[in-house]
Structure 1
Amino acid sequence: MTGDYHRSLIITHTTLFIAMTTVFSWISIPFIPVPITLQTLGVLLTGTIMKRYAGIPMALYLLLGAIGLPVFHNGAAGLGVLIGPTGGYLIGFIPAAIMVGLCYEQESEKIHVAGLASGILIIYLFGLSWLILSVPMGIIPAITAGMLPFIPGDIIKSTAAFLITKRIQPYTTRLTTR
């Protein structure tokens, strides 16, 4: 595969996954303090398909939101979102997508499942840490409000990402092979 073709695939996939994560941010079940959206499904799918390049669309997604494009939940935008109570979850999208991507470069489905679980845990780690600092609140209230209600949905989203990727992966392998 030529370098130009490979770069064009990365650019195309980056654009696709930014758009998908943006659309998924608008699909939500209202919940306080953190809305339940499909954004994490977008993060996981970005990792499973873009593999080692998964951090690129997530970083650009956050950059677009930071400069004012309405890409976050309900069209929110600006640095205020990133430094607000949910900002840690958003920042966690970058390392989560990278972790999932690195795990999906391996052949083992067990490693794929571990990667998806690790991606969700990374988002929780960043999100809860920032929630504790920004609100401020203790660890137990933060876990109670910012993690426990979301675990069932995140299990469903992780399962969906696994199944979707398994179905479409034969058509996406060219991205990370040269």
Structure 2
Amino acid sequence: MMHRARILAHSSTFIALIAAGSWLSIPLPPVPITLQTLFILLAGIVMKRYAAIPVTLFVLLGAAGLPVFHNGTAGLGVLLGPTGGFLVGFIPAAVIVGLAYERQSKACRVGGLLAATFVTYLFGVSWLAWSASLSPAQAVLLGVAPFVVGEVVKVAAAYVIGERVA
């Protein structure tokens, strides 16, 4: 019973953190810079494979109309817009980090954080290219290049925090 209570408490906390991270945003067209990815990584670190629960619920709550996406946006239109792939990519990213953090190897954990970031951008850039009728190169320039330094910082921060809480 305690395990379920912990999952519920962690899930509600991470849904709130991911939503708060969406408000901490620098609006770049077509994809804003947010702190959501940091909290996705931390959810995986703390909740392991169960991180899929809050991240999936976050996406579903936003799709249902709660203003939890970047800058308070919501609805299916956001998921079908240029940022939708990134949002959906958060789900497998959280699972990847969670599975990596079920192992004791530091190399596996770092690899999991990097793989999760790659998967988020793979989903995001693929959808961005399709939804905005961009070439893959254009989608990478708009959907990855402006974010590389920030993502390195977020991955490093998640790792440092994770070493203390995991």
Q: Same fold (TM over 0.5)?
A: yes
Separation (CA, whole Å) in 2 of partners of 1:83 and 1:57: 21
Separation (CA, whole Å) in 2 of partners of 1:55 and 1:133: 25
Separation (CA, whole Å) in 2 of partners of 1:29 and 1:132: 21
Aligned to 1:96: 93
Q: Which residue, 76, 82, 86 being the options, matches 1:85?
A: 82
Q: Which residue, 110, 113, 119 being the options, matches 1:113?
A: 110
Residue ranges of structure 1 left out of the alignment (5+ in a row) = 170-178
Deviation at 1:103, TM superposition (A): 0.4
Separation (CA, whole Å) in 1 of partners of 2:19 and 2:137: 31
| Mapped pair 1:52 → 2:52 | no
| Mapped pair 1:136 → 2:145 | no
Write the deviation string for residues 62-114 of structure 1: whole angstroms up to 9, x where unpaired: 01001110111111000000010100000000000000100000001111100
Write the deviation string for residues 98-154 of structure 1: whole angstroms up to 9, x where unpaired: 001000000011111000000100000100110111001101111111111111100
Q: Give the aligned CA root-mean-square deviation in angstroms.
A: 0.7
Q: Map of 1:1-178 to 2, 5 A cutoff? A: 4-169=1-166
Separation (CA, whole Å) in 2 of partners of 1:160 and 1:139: 29
Residue ranges of structure 2 left out of the alignment (5+ in a row) = none
Q: Which has the larger radius of gyration?
A: 1
The ranges of structure 1 where at least 4 consecutive aligned residues each deviate by more than 2 angstroms after the TM superposition are none
3-state SS of paired residue (2:103): coil
